[in-house]
Amino acid sequence: GQQVMQIPQYQHVQEGEDFTTYCNSSTTLSNIQWYKQRPGGHPVFLIQLVKSGEVKKQKRLTFQFGEAKKNSSLHITATQTTDVGTYFCAGLDFNKFYFGSGTKLNVKP
Amino acid sequence: EADIYQTPRYLVIGTGKKITLECSQTMGHDKMYWYQQDPGMELHLIHYSYGVNSTEKGDLSSESTVSRIRTEHFPLTLESARPSHTSQYLCASSEYLGQGTDEQFFGPGTRLTVL
């Protein structure tokens, strides 16, 4: 069945360092979404990527969708303490969303 | 802030009880979803709906049912609660905006404990 893997599971960085999380699907996806979940909160939508090779930026966040539409990455430049949380990717395959296991980011001030 | 609501927020119940988790949205979204999430883990799709009288099973649906009689309302029912159902249940909705855009708005969740 469909699987979406996400690495790393945890990442501890010093404030100001960069951070990247990777998402890999076992099948080709229609699109991929990224969400952020703060501790004790619910997932909040960040962005959606649809096209092969697409790259989108939101201030310090850069999102990329692979050419084969089976992998994606989220890169944060110069992390801040407000970036703390778990980042999930969610791939759309045959009208169902499959969430990755998430990468928990901790930022030390 | 998205207008999607879930009740109750917390529920502690005994084994074998029938429970219904409520979810309502006021955004007029056609698509609605139920996910199960254990602390710090991924979200698993339980059920989803494309609109009134439309319901589909996700990968984790065998012990629950849903209904979609009104656009804004998508309740989830567990016929006989078990300790293995202890988890957080998240409801979400989305509006198809064309070109495959499907931003999901999540409710605050129901944290269920089955004793």
Q: Measuring CA to CA, which residue among B94, B100, B4, B1 is closest to residue A31?
A: B100
Q: At A96, is the pLDDT very low, low, confident or very high (cuts 50, 70, 90)?
A: confident
Q: For residue A69, what are the domain limits?
A: 4-108
Residue of A nearest to B31 (CA): A95
User: How much of chain B exceeds pLDDT 90, in percent?
Assistant: 79
Q: At B1, is the pLDDT very low, low, confident or very high (cuts 50, 70, 90)?
A: low
> Using the beta-carbon criterion (under 8 Å), do A88 and B42 form an inter-chain contact?
yes
Q: Mutation target for A interface from B34, B87, B94, B104: give the one with most A CBs within 10 A.
A: B104
* Number of independent structural domains in chain A: 1
Task: Tell me, yes or no, if A26 comes closer than 8 A to chain B by beta carbon.
Answer: no
* Per-residue model confidence (pLDDT) at position B60: 79
Residue of B nearest to A102 (CA): B42
Q: Measuring CA to CA, which residue among A5, A7, A15, A6 is closest to residue A106?
A: A15
Q: Classify A16 in phi/psi space as left (phi over 0), alpha (psi -120 to 50) or beta.
A: left
> Using the beta-carbon criterion (under 8 Å), do A43 and B45 form an inter-chain contact?
no
* Per-residue model confidence (pLDDT) at position B90: 97
Q: At A94, is the pLDDT very low, low, confident or very high (cuts 50, 70, 90)?
A: confident
> Using the beta-carbon criterion (under 8 Å), do B109 and A42 form an inter-chain contact?
yes
Q: Mutation target for A interface from B42, B57, B95, B101: give the one with most A CBs within 10 A.
A: B42
With contacts defined as CB-CB under 8 Å, which chain B residues touch A86? 40
Q: Measuring CA to CA, which residue among B101, B83, B105 is closest to residue B13?
A: B83
CA distance A71 to A53: 10
Q: What CATH number is attached to the domain comprising A76? A: 2.60.40.10
- Superfamily name with CATH number, domain B4-114: Immunoglobulins (2.60.40.10)
With contacts defined as CB-CB under 8 Å, which chain B residues touch A92? 100, 102
CA distance A57 to A55: 7
pLDDT in tens, B16-52: 999 999 999 999 999 999 999 998 889 999 999 999 9
Q: At B2, is the pLDDT very low, low, confident or very high (cuts 50, 70, 90)?
A: low
Give B37's DSSP letter.
E
- Mean pLDDT check: name the lowest of A22-26, B21-25, B59-63: B59-63
Spell out the domain ranges in chain B: 4-114
With contacts defined as CB-CB under 8 Å, which chain B residues touch A91? none
Q: At B97, is the pLDDT very low, low, confident or very high (cuts 50, 70, 90)?
A: low
- Asked if residues A53 and A67 have their Cβ atoms less than 8 Å apart, the reply is yes
With contacts defined as CB-CB under 8 Å, which chain B residues touch A35? 104
* Per-residue model confidence (pLDDT) at position B61: 67
